[in-house]
Amino acid sequence: MIGLVALHFLAAAVAPALTRLLDRRAFLALALVPLGSFVWLLGPVGDVTSGGAIHATRWTWIPGLGLDVDLAITPLSGVMALVVTGVGALVLAYCAWYFRAGDPEIWRFSGVLIGFAGAMLGLVLADNLYVLYVFWELTTVLSFLLIGHNPERRANRRAAMNALLVTTFGGLAMLVGFVVLGREAGTSRLSEIVAAPPTGAATTVAVMLVLVGALSKSALVPFHFWLPGAMAAPTPVSAYLHAAAMVKAGVYLVALLAPAFAATPGWRPVLLVLGLTTMVIGGLRALRQHDIKLLLAYGTVSQLGFLIAVIGAGTRAALLAGLGLVCAHALFKATLFLVVGVIDRSTGTRDLRELTGLTRRLPVLAVAAVLAAASMAGLPPLLGFTAKEAALAAFADLGQDADLGAWGDVALVGLVLGSVLTVAYTARFVWGAFGVRDVPEPAIDRPAAGFVAAPVLLAALGLVAGFTGKPLTERLATFSDQLPEGAHEPVLTLWHGFTLPLLLSGVAIVGGIGLWLARRQVAAAQQRFVDGLHVPDAERSYHAVVRAVDRLSVEVTGRTQRGSLPFYLAVVMVVLVVVPGTALLMAWGDISVRGPDNVLQVAVAVLMVVGAVLTVRSRRRLRAVLLLGVTGYGTALLFVAHGAPDLALTQVLVETFMLVTFVLVMRRLPPFFSDRPFTTTRFLRIGLGVLSGVAVAGFALLAAGARTADPIGPLFAGPAYEYGGGKNIVNVTLVDIRAWDTLGELSVLVVAATGVASLIFLLTDRATSHRSARRARRPAANADGALTAARTLPDTRRSTVFEVVTRLVFHGLIVFSVYLMLAGHNDPGGGFAGGLVAGLALMVRYLAGGRRELDAAAPIDAGTVLGLGLAVAALAGLLPTLLGGGVLQSAIVDIDVPVLGTLHLVTSVFFDVGVYLVVIGLALDVLRSLGGGIDKQRERAEAEEAAA
Amino acid sequence: MSVNVVLVVVVGVLVGCGVTLVLERSLTRILVGFVLIGNGVNVLFLIASGAAGSPPLIGASDDPMSDPLPQAMALTAIVITLGVTAFGLALAYRSWQLFGHDDVQDDLEDDLVRRRAELDDTSATFDEADTDVPDEEGSDPA
């Protein structure tokens, strides 16, 4: 079963390629998928509809959430699946003639349509609330694409958007309903919920929410307006959407839940009132249309109201009639739309005022259309007649079966009224499409036999099914039999005897034909009625709601999105001070403080406080940056005093690198900060700063003092040595115990470095500079001990002493960085510290010899280093899984090396190599961009100035 | 657990100064303030980790060790600060290149939205209702 659905999506994936290859004939190949599914389904569906056990499959999806893909073929879902695949196959085949050869859009259309068919099949087969929801929304999204097939027209875009908004709104309400229903029932399996339905207020609310979803999908009042707009889709899509898919999803859901929840308070009143109202409104509007496709679209609205009312009535007789109607409707509505498609393609118009003489010119098509129309109107001997007779019979006993009393008879009257209108608009359709008028006959392209085959086949099926009432009743009754017996045993048959339903059918037919004969007077009366009453138009109300939401968002955005960064940050800080600050004041209690741990702390603290305050006061950029360095190095000293050598080492290295980077950028920026008028905002800023500082200090005092549990850190020592194989607990934590964190951090570094490079080099390739360097590669130093590439600098910028020192220390620094990385497992150091030392070594080379010297020192693209580092780290993390361990698990290998002793190798060292490389890549990117890149731009600017 | 009052003062001052700078419009000042806050928060980790001790190296000393976990967290934070600061500096430089200064300006699009709100107007992408009837592709004989 799951294979059937998957096959549809697979076909959707290959459809674009297939249409390239076969053009519109690809539809015939694609039609094989639903056709094959139909044939495959015949066996199991035949089995379950003759009393066999339900076919169910389960595929575990997300076991952690208890989500499984449950699919089941039940009598109901099986019949629906046959309708979906059968009509789907015919519609797809029909597309092969409907579209013109060489249509440039069908590559996309074909994929979406078959995907839509797959989603619909999944929807009806789903036996799990959430699986059903997923397919439900999938049909919503795909129908949006189908309706918006030609997005160049604004009205089409809006029609697609309306359908999307309305059905998504309903879908979300339904999802909430599903969640509540699933919780109340204790299971998300639909078959289990229906077998043992929960009751209570929560269930009632949940069921009502689910009905919102069903009604919006099935285009019932007040959601009915999206469906006529959906005829913006190509006609085959309309045929499928209106007859077998999409709108039938709501009907299906109501049918699925009716046996369990029809007695829920509100269920019958809501569905009967809205259903019958929709039936009447849709019928009335259909009578006013000139476009025969639009006429059919309103006819669908009317029919959907009919179906929902009958199935929603939820008695045994009504369910059997309803399922029969669903089949009848699928057959005749698909036929009629496909007929309209043929007429449209053959004559180039769908306006009934321009059509004439088609009966003579297209006799086969006319016969098919009349058969289908007769089925729609409920004329014998078609399936539409037998099903409608059964529906009338069910409603005649509704008062007794559903305890509705006289209201059942009111519903029956509504049903008859709707049927009268149905006959009337059916007559209008037949007269409109095939009548004879006093207008010039449109030119006709004779349609190919294949083009007409699908509607003829569907119409013939409707005729055959009318005569096979007995076997059909037996099959469909396997669904309705889950309800208790009613006043009469329902049956689909052409002849009941002279009964009330037959009389009512007669009334409908006579009344309908009467309405059609008096169509001018009826139209005038309708017009007067609409003009006089000012009935609220659903579409206009919907539009007003959408407009109000849009206005609200503009107001809210205008008020909250000031677009000012200081304002946003101030809001964040004020919230920090006010909300947790209030909590702080309320919780303020015993605070136990102690003095400094040692004298060093006091000295450093004084230095940092002074440095920080002076940083704020400085108006020179460079001064602010240097004072920032004071607090940075001070922090490093605090780390030392605390007993955190790794932190201190990293902090010193980072601070140095950052200081130089700041200076590299500051050399281009103006020396002073821009002058700001001395205003009150300055005091506000300082005030907010002081408050934030006090608040954070307060949190520190209270939170650190409020510790109740033992810290977990000291427990790291044992595992760090035993499993991590290292004595430096901090570094083992980084590369083993919390290695996932580190991996995430590496990604951040890669992103930041790439961002830096892209901001400076913009679109140009950052790799160019080292490539040219590699071409001109020479020994790094010449005989006099200076740096070679430094010769490219003007003499005034060179320093022989600096160059010589650089030459002396560079290689030593690199070796030291590798040592730090390797030693980090047991002693202070590690990949971060090692990488930073290597970065500083490169920085020294750059400072001494300029950007070409940097290229000579590292003739490789920074992006390559970054990528390599991330890849090494990721592979080092994945490697243990190949050896049967967990991700990022370390292994300790002791290798006996002769003479030297035992080599103690821990695999996490490879992870550290990745860290080392990423940090070097970051340093290289920063130096190339903020160093060399800015140099280059300055040189260019100076050259331009000199030229000018 | 008693709290080291000297470190608390340092955290308060660093964060206070940092926030004051971050509220400025000059990107350089914002970055400096950002780094100050970063340093302050790293010291906050020290406070949270309890008393000072010997380095968390197994076998290095018999005295009680300092807590290694907050140190590992602070270490990654330090390096991240470097990466983000470098990015911020590149932004400041780019801003100078384009506008001749590194001040953060108010967003123009937000201003447009505000003006729409004052005029009681809908958003720019809102589709006003019209009487156009949807039409299918291909129904046009041309």
Tell me whether A624 touches chain B (CB under 8 Å).
yes
pLDDT (tens digit, 9 = 90+) per residue, A96-117?
A: 999 988 888 889 999 999 999 9
Split at pLDDT 50, 70, 90, the class of A879 is confident
**Residue in B11, B44, B46 to test binding to A, most A beta-carbons within 10 Å:** B46
**Residue in A616, A627, A732, A906 to test binding to B, most B beta-carbons within 10 Å:** A616
Whether A384 and A328 have beta carbons less than 8 Å apart is answered as yes
The residues, any chain, with a CB within 8 Å of residue A933's CB and separated by 6 or more, are: A757, A760, A761
Tell me whether A380 touches chain B (CB under 8 Å).
no
User: Percent of chain A at pLDDT above 90?
Assistant: 57
Phi-psi region of A516 (alpha: psi -120 to 50; beta: other; left: phi over 0): alpha
Give, in degrees to the nearest 5, the angle at Cα A133 between A128 and A136.
125
From CA A171, how far away is CA A177, in angstroms rounded? 10
User: Percent of chain A at pLDDT above 70?
Assistant: 96
Phi-psi region of B60 (alpha: psi -120 to 50; beta: other; left: phi over 0): alpha
Rounded to a whole number of angstroms, the distance from the CA of A752 to the nearest CA of chain B is 6
Q: Do A149 and B79 touch (CB under 8 A)?
A: no
Tell me whether B78 touches chain A (CB under 8 Å).
yes
Q: Is the pLDDT of residue A384 over 90?
A: yes
The residues, any chain, with a CB within 8 Å of residue A301's CB and separated by 6 or more, are: A219, A224, A227, A228, A278, A281, A282, A285, A286
From CA A487, how far away is CA A216, in angstroms rounded? 33
**Residue (of A535, A541, A543) closest to A285 by Cα position:** A535
Which chain B residues are within 8 Å of A752, Cβ to Cβ? 83-84, 86-87
Tell me which chain A residue has its CA closest to the CA of residue B70. Answer: A713
CA distances from A73 to A52, A56, A78, A191, B136 (A): 11, 6, 5, 11, 36
A593-594 vs B3-4, strand pairing mode: parallel
From CA A241, how far away is CA A623, in angstroms rounded? 71
Q: Do A621 and B10 touch (CB under 8 A)?
A: no
Tell me whether A615 touches chain B (CB under 8 Å).
yes
Please tell me the predicted confidence (pLDDT) of residue A389.
Answer: 93
From CA A596, how far away is CA A437, in angstroms rounded? 104
Split at pLDDT 50, 70, 90, the class of B131 is low
Tell me whether A656 touches chain B (CB under 8 Å).
no
Tell me which chain A residue has its CA closest to the CA of residue B59. Answer: A727
Q: Nearest CB to B67: which of A566, A625, A713? A: A713
For residues A753-772, average pLDDT: 70
Please tell me the predicted confidence (pLDDT) of residue A210.
Answer: 96
Q: Do A150 and B136 touch (CB under 8 A)?
A: yes
Phi-psi region of A626 (alpha: psi -120 to 50; beta: other; left: phi over 0): alpha
Q: Nearest CB to B136: which of A233, A712, A737? A: A233
Q: Do A638 and B46 touch (CB under 8 A)?
A: yes
From CA A359, how far away is CA A574, in angstroms rounded? 79
Provide the 3-class DSSP secondary structure of residue A59.
Answer: strand
Q: Is the pLDDT of residue B139 over 60?
A: no
Q: Do A727 and B57 touch (CB under 8 A)?
A: yes
Residue A652, number of CB atoms within 10 A of its CB: 19
**Residue (of A371, A330, A115) closest to A244 by Cα position:** A330
* ipTM of this predicted structure: 0.88
Tell me whether A596 touches chain B (CB under 8 Å).
yes
Which chain A residues are within 8 Å of B7, Cβ to Cβ? 601, 605, 638, 700
From CA A307, how far away is CA A319, in angstroms rounded? 10
From the number of C-beta atoms within 10 Å of its C-beta (0-12, 13-18, 19+), residue A443 rates as exposed
Residue B90, number of CB atoms within 10 A of its CB: 26
Please tell me the predicted confidence (pLDDT) of residue B54.
Answer: 87
CA distances from A880 to A150, A731, A745 (A): 53, 19, 21
Sole residue written with tokens 């290798």:
A895
Q: Is the pLDDT of residue B135 over 60?
A: no
Tell me whether B107 touches chain A (CB under 8 Å).
yes
**Residue in A553, A669, A766, A930 to test binding to B, most B beta-carbons within 10 Å:** A669
Q: Which of residues 87-116 of A touch B (CB under 8 A)?
A: 99-100, 105
Tell me whether B141 touches chain A (CB under 8 Å).
yes
Q: Do B78 and A654 touch (CB under 8 A)?
A: yes
pLDDT (tens digit, 9 = 90+) per residue, A491-500?
A: 888 888 888 9
- What mean pLDDT is reported for chain A? 89
Provide the 3-class DSSP secondary structure of residue A169.
Answer: helix
If one compares B124 and A93, the residue with the highest pLDDT of the two is: A93
Secondary structure, 3-state, A176-193: HHHHHHHHHHCCCEHHHH
pLDDT (tens digit, 9 = 90+) per residue, B40-52?
A: 999 999 888 888 8
Q: Do B79 and A832 touch (CB under 8 A)?
A: yes
Tell me whether A67 touches chain B (CB under 8 Å).
no
For residues A180-199, average pLDDT: 92
User: Residues for chain B: how many in total?
Assistant: 142
Q: Kindly provide the residue ranges of all beta strands, DSSP E only, lying in chain B, ordered along the sequence.
A: 3-4
Q: Partners of A56 in the beta sheet?
A: A72
Q: Is the pLDDT of residue B35 over 60?
A: yes
Please tell me the predicted confidence (pLDDT) of residue B138.
Answer: 40
Lowest mean pLDDT among A331-340, A367-376, A400-409, A879-888: A879-888
Query: Phi and psi at residue A300, in whole multiples of 5°?
Result: -65, -45
pLDDT (tens digit, 9 = 90+) per residue, A425-441?
A: 999 999 999 988 888 88
Tell me which chain B residue has its CA closest to the CA of residue A927. Answer: B86
pTM: 0.75
Q: Do B9 and A562 touch (CB under 8 A)?
A: no
pLDDT (tens digit, 9 = 90+) per residue, A805-833?
A: 998 899 999 999 999 998 888 888 889 99
Q: Do B127 and A651 touch (CB under 8 A)?
A: no
Domains of chain B by start residue, with CATH? 5-53+67-118 (1.10.287.3510)
Q: Is the pLDDT of residue B142 over 50?
A: no
Split at pLDDT 50, 70, 90, the class of A775 is low
If one compares A231 and A120, the residue with the highest pLDDT of the two is: A120
Which chain A residues are within 8 Å of B10, Cβ to Cβ? 605, 608-609, 638
Tell me whether A718 touches chain B (CB under 8 Å).
no
Highest-scoring range by mean pLDDT, A33-47, A884-898, B116-130: A33-47
Q: Is the pLDDT of residue A785 over 80?
A: no
Please tell me the predicted confidence (pLDDT) of residue A769.
Answer: 53
Split at pLDDT 50, 70, 90, the class of A770 is low
Q: Is the pLDDT of residue A781 over 60?
A: no
